[in-house]
């Protein structure tokens, strides 16, 4: 064993000696351990959209929602026999189809 190797060895039970060759800190944001899967993130996004869409039905404001969310809600309104909201959503979808540059 060389002298360099002998200097680098440290007893595992020795807590008082300073470790001169510590490992470098990891870069980036530390892990929380509670990361969601893509499926869980999408499910929570759909739930947020659904809650926001319910509020917007009261306020009649559908402009802030994606087309896919509006199409899903349009189908729900038709199945649930809710022609009033289906009509409002249809107007927004038709407007988007006529003017795709304003999305």
Residue 88 pLDDT greater than 80, yes or no? yes
Return the higher-pLDDT residue of 46 and 3.
Answer: 46
Q: What is the pLDDT of residues 21-40, one digit of tens each?
A: 666 778 888 888 888 999 99
Kindly indicate the confidence band of residue 41, based on its pLDDT and cuts at 50, 70 and 90.
Answer: very high
d(CA 46, CA 39): 11
Span 43-76, pLDDT tens digits: 998 888 777 766 666 556 777 778 888 888 888 8
CA–CA dist 78, 68 (Å, integer): 15
Domain boundaries, given as residue ranges, for the chain: 34-103
Q: Is the pTM of this model over 0.85?
A: no
What pLDDT does residue 21 have? 63
Average pLDDT over residues 68-85: 83
For residue 30, what are the CA distances in angstroms to 26, 27, 33?
8, 8, 9
CA distance readout (Å), 61 to 7, 30, 53, 80, 101? 71, 39, 9, 20, 19
């Amino acid at each position: 064993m060389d002298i360099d190797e002998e200097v680098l060895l440290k007893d595992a039970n020795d807590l008082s000696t300073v470790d001169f060759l510590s490992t470098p800190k990891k870069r980036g944001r530390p892990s929380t351990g509670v990361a969601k899967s893509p499926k869980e993130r999408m499910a929570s996004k759909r739930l947020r959209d659904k809650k926001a869409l319910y509020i917007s039905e009261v306020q009649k404001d559908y402009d802030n929602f994606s087309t896919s969310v509006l199409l899903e809600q349009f189908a729900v309104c038709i199945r649930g026999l809710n022609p009033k909201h289906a009509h409002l959503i249809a107007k927004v979808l038709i407007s988007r189809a006529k003017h795709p540059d304003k999305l």
